[in-house]
Amino acid sequence: MKEATPQTIYLKDYTPFGWQVDSVHLTFKLAPEATRVTSRIRFTPDPAAPAQDFFLHGEELTLIRAAVDGVAVTPEVTPEGLRCAVPDGPFLWEAEVEIAPASNTALEGLYMSNGMYCTQCEAEGFRKITYYPDRPDVMSVFTVRIEGAEPVKLSNGNPGASGDGFAEWHDPWPKPAYLFALVAGDLVNHPDSFTTRSGRQVELNIWVRPGDEGKCAWGMESLKKSMTWDEEVYGREYDLDIFNIVAVDDFNMGAMENKGLNVFNSSAVLASPETSTDANFERIEAIIAHEYFHNWTGNRITCRDWFQLCLKEGLTVFRDSQFTSDMRSAEVKRISDVIDLRARQFPEDQGPLSHPVRPESFQEINNFYTATVYEKGAEVIGMLKRLVGDEAYAKALDLYFARHDGQACTIEDWLKVFEDTTGRDLSQFKRWYSQSGTPHLKVAESYADGTYTLTFTQHTPPTPGQSDKAPQVLPIAVGLLNPNGDEVVPTTVLEMTEAEQSFTFEGLAAKPVPSILRGFSAPVVLDRSSSPEERAFLLAHDTDAFNRWEANRDLAREGLVAMITEGAAPDEAWLDGLQKVIADEALDPAFRALMMGGPSQSELAQVLHGRGITPDPEAIWTASETLRDAKARRWAGLLPRLADEAAVTAPFSPDAEQAGKRALGGAVLSLQTRIDGGAAAEAQFKAADNMTLQLTALSCLVSAGRDEAALGVFERQWSGDRLVMDKWFALQIAATTPDKAVERAEALTRHPAFDMKNPNRFRATLGGLAMHHAGFHRRDGAGYRLLADWLIRLDAVNPQTTARMCTVFQTWKRYDPDRQALIRAELERIAARPGLSRDVTEMVTRMLS
């Protein structure tokens, strides 16, 4: 395991590797405890690189032998790699190492999951497979031979010879080692094929464990849609004869874009109507697309170093959100993305873990696969596209692919293609990559003699390591409405570059109502205290779906803040206005379902903290419950009609239309449960023929306290299905009351099906607890203690998943001194553990500093 070695790596220290790697040949002789890996690698000195020792990364490897040009050598071996004297010219490096995949519980490098061999190399896992210059700017052509009794043996690229006990693969596209993959096991495939627009025949497969064949159709359909979309929208074609996807049960994240051999967490690929919710189907479609799109944005054009991670991740997230918008409702996707950004990225940007989209230093790169790099990184690309326009964006992307194919690039390269295409100077825009923190935007307005002026002020609060912030380029999409509700100025993008800047609109007969930051055109906090009347007006009339939703969210938030801080009653006038929107059958049911929800409790805590009020999780819980009760009472007459409208009679399809109806039905059922105590939920639970309906009903029954029987029925029905059981673990914590959440989570860790080595199960249970805001933040600190106990245990097994889950403590300074003291004590207890991983050490230190 990686011990804590607090060594910091800096962007400014980048130095190219001293050799080019002309070819790589690897032979694997598979055995669970003693796999032998033989490498034959041809190196040629790179005259452009500075002189340096020949150093290859390698961790947890047993070196059996090494040779240079066929002559045995004895390199100097350290825990990080080896150093060796080599000739001045080209040479052949050979090494044989031994590794133990069955004992590899960190799930990085070569490991085993349910008897299947699989790999995860990004970011720095290849060095746990063999000695190699394990850095993304070293690209080479790989040929792989796998020897073992497993019936299926896969690697990157196109298949070569295969026979009794062996299979060979050759990947003609030069790639960095982080894209290497190997899978071997007793697998079955769901086959299909795709013909690219230039006529290349591509064999497609989804490989799964026997028994899961029936859950591959949706993933395959999503893959084919992604391949077509990337050809049509970005002009990108697939470039190998075969594309393989493998489902793996034990996996640290969602999926991995290895060249020609994507490895997926089974939760991100397996689906069936009976076992998967609509949200699961949509997530699978998006992740399949994301990994497939990486083939161009990530694989063909990769990153020079890990500081440039957003180059591939921000762009690929942006591309997958465009894809989902095209497959489903663009408006609903935008609202969902902003909900997610505010829930995950804003707390990061506003807390101790804040870092720029392109960080400038790190200790453990795995800790920087963050919402800032991914989601804010995608927002930055969205802003760039808004500023230059769709046509220039398309041209810039064409230039990017033409100019940089086969290269390992930087953010400078990326921005340069936009500068060259448009003639713009993007030096100020570049601050989005280097400046951390969320800008706050204030607005003042004035109207006189037909002229309307909007004056904006931007300010970014200090973040760790960055006390002074410079103004950012902000594309602010604005529309103006007449007092009668008509749109008088359609959406216009104002380009703000100064700390304070005014924009004028002429020829307006009356003072308009502004709709600001339409479509959430920049990832900022809009500090605008408009009147409830104006918000209600926008809720009723705005033509921009996002801002209509936003007006409602602002009203909900202000109402809840008044309930929490002043003991106010729910705002009945707002509920009546909202009822009209929810009842409007002309509107998309998915949009109406979103309108029925409120801000999350964690978001309310963030809002209160931002206003200098210490959030009390219990009070937030109570206010949220009171508001839901009020909605149920106030809308009681409408609910049966909505339930009828939401009913789906056609055979199940995970498409946006049916999913939207079921989302509306779910929102209705949860309110109905507050009226009938769970009668309708019980009926739905019994009749449900798909997981969305069954799980929604079960969640309502648990929150109504009528759960014992239903949870038992569900468990008996689904005990053989790991992915469904993850839902069972998570749901009973999520839907319970704050006083029971910790005990439930604790009891579930003693359930025979709890397995800390499986990241999905660990996240469902302990992550489930952390997501129950009031339950986790229970006043006596029991939630913090239970989580810290498990993080300490897990760190010895799987540092990456542990470090990721530590982030639930990142908001600790929002809370009262007692809670802060309790959390601090837990963080210090974790930090003091002997042998704590480098991953967790870095996270805990940053949160405590």
Site residues, ligand B3K (CB under 6 A) = 122-123, 253, 255-257, 290-291, 294, 313, 366, 369
**Which of 150, 282, 291, 348 does the annotation list as catalytic?**
291
Residue 168 or 375: which CB sits closer to Zn ion? 375
Hey, CA dihedral for 145, 151, 154, 160, is it positive or negative? positive
Least gap, CB of 33 to ligand B3K (angstroms):
25
CA–centroid distance for 702 within its chain: 28
d(CA 511, CA 514): 9
Q: Which does 337 bind (CB under 5 to 8 A by kind): ligand B3K, Zn ion, none?
A: none
Residue 793 to residues 43, 524, 788, 790, 836: CA-CA distances in angstroms?
42, 38, 9, 5, 10
Binding partner selected for residue 682 from Zn ion, ligand B3K, none, CB under the kind-specific 5 to 8 Å limit = none
**Interaction with Zn ion in 799-828: which residues (CB under 5 A)?**
none
Of 299 and 463, nearer to ligand B3K (C-beta) is 299
SS3 571: coil
**281, amino acid identity:** F
> What are residue 788's phi and psi, to 5 degrees?
-60, -40
Q: CA 771, CA 820: separation in Å to the nearest integer?
A: 18
Q: Reduced to 3 DSSP states, what percent helix, strand and coil does the chain have, rounded to the nearest 5? A: 45, 20, 30
The dihedral over CA atoms of 142, 148, 153, 155, expressed in degrees to the nearest 10, equals -20
Nearer to ligand B3K, 313 or 550 (CB): 313
Nearer to Zn ion, 122 or 682 (CB): 122
Question: What is the smallest separation between the CB atom of 316 and Zn ion, expressed in angstroms?
Answer: 5
Name the minimum Å distance from CB 28 to Zn ion: 26
Q: Look at residue 544 and give the partner it binds from Zn ion, ligand B3K, none, a contact being a CB closer than 5 to 8 Å depending on partner kind.
A: none
Torsion over CA of 81, 83, 87 and 90, rounded to 10 degrees? Answer: 20
Binds 603: which of ligand B3K, Zn ion, none (CB < 5-8 Å by kind): none
**Can you read off the two tokens belonging to residue 537?**
């007006």
Structure tokens at 577: 């206005």
130 versus 299: smaller Cβ distance to ligand B3K: 299
Burial of 819 (0-12, 13-18, 19+ CB in 10 A): buried
- Measured from the CB of residue 290, what is the shortest distance to Zn ion in angstroms? 5
Kindly state the tokens that stand for 667.
């929102």
DSSP 17-59: -SEEEEEEEEEEE--SS-EEEEEEEEEEE-TTSPP--EEEE--
Minimum CB distance to Zn ion, residue 552 (Å): 32
Cβ closest to Zn ion, residue 297 vs residue 436: 297
Q: Which does 123 bind (CB under 5 to 8 A by kind): Zn ion, ligand B3K, none?
A: ligand B3K
Shortest Å, Cβ 298 to Zn ion: 7
Residue ranges in 267-326 that form contacts with Zn ion under rule CB under 5 A:
313, 316
For 521, list phi and psi in degrees, rounded to 5.
-70, -10
> Could you say which of Zn ion, ligand B3K, none residue 134 binds, taking C-beta under 5 to 8 angstroms by partner kind?
none
Given the structure tokens 């109406």, which residue do they identify?
592
- Shortest distance (Å) from residue 303 CB to Zn ion: 11
Choose between 229 and 784: whose C-beta lies nearer to ligand B3K.
229
Concatenating the DSSP letter of every residue in 410-444 gives -HHHHHHHHHHHH----TTTTHHHH--S--EEEEE
Which of residues 316 and 515 has its CB atom nearest to Zn ion in the complex? 316
Q: HEC states along 83-97?
A: EECCCCCCEEEEEEE
To ligand B3K, the closest distance from the beta carbon of 253 in angstroms equals 5
Q: Which two tokens stand for residue 582?
A: 């929810």
Choose the contact partner of 61 out of ligand B3K, Zn ion, none; CB within 5 to 8 A by kind.
none
Structure-token pair, residue 740: 């029971």
Taking the complex as a whole, how short is the minimal distance between the CB of residue 471 and Zn ion, in angstroms? 30
CB of 327 to ligand B3K, least distance (A): 18
Q: Residue 256 touches which of Zn ion, ligand B3K, none (CB < 5 to 8 A by kind)? A: ligand B3K
Residues 509, 511, 514, CA angle at the centre, nearest 5°?
A: 120
Tell me, by CB under 5 A, how many residues bind Zn ion: 2
Distance between CA atoms of 569 and 555, rounded to whole angstroms? 14
Per DSSP, the three-state class of 596 is helix
- Please answer whether residues 553 and 543 qualify as being in contact, where contact means their C-beta atoms are separated by less than 8 angstroms: no
* Lateral strand order in the sheet of 474-481: 487-496, 474-481, 513-516
Closest to ligand B3K by CB, 317 vs 663, is 317
367 binds, among ligand B3K, Zn ion, none (CB under 5 to 8 A by kind): none
Active site residue 33: no
Q: Which is nearer to ligand B3K, 265 or 354 (CB)?
A: 265
How wide is the angle at C-alpha 345 spanned by C-alphas 179 and 278, nearest 5°?
75
Task: Give the Cα separation of 847 and 810 in Å (integer).
Answer: 6
Q: Which residues are catalytic?
A: 291
* List of residues contacting Zn ion (CB under 5 A): 313, 316
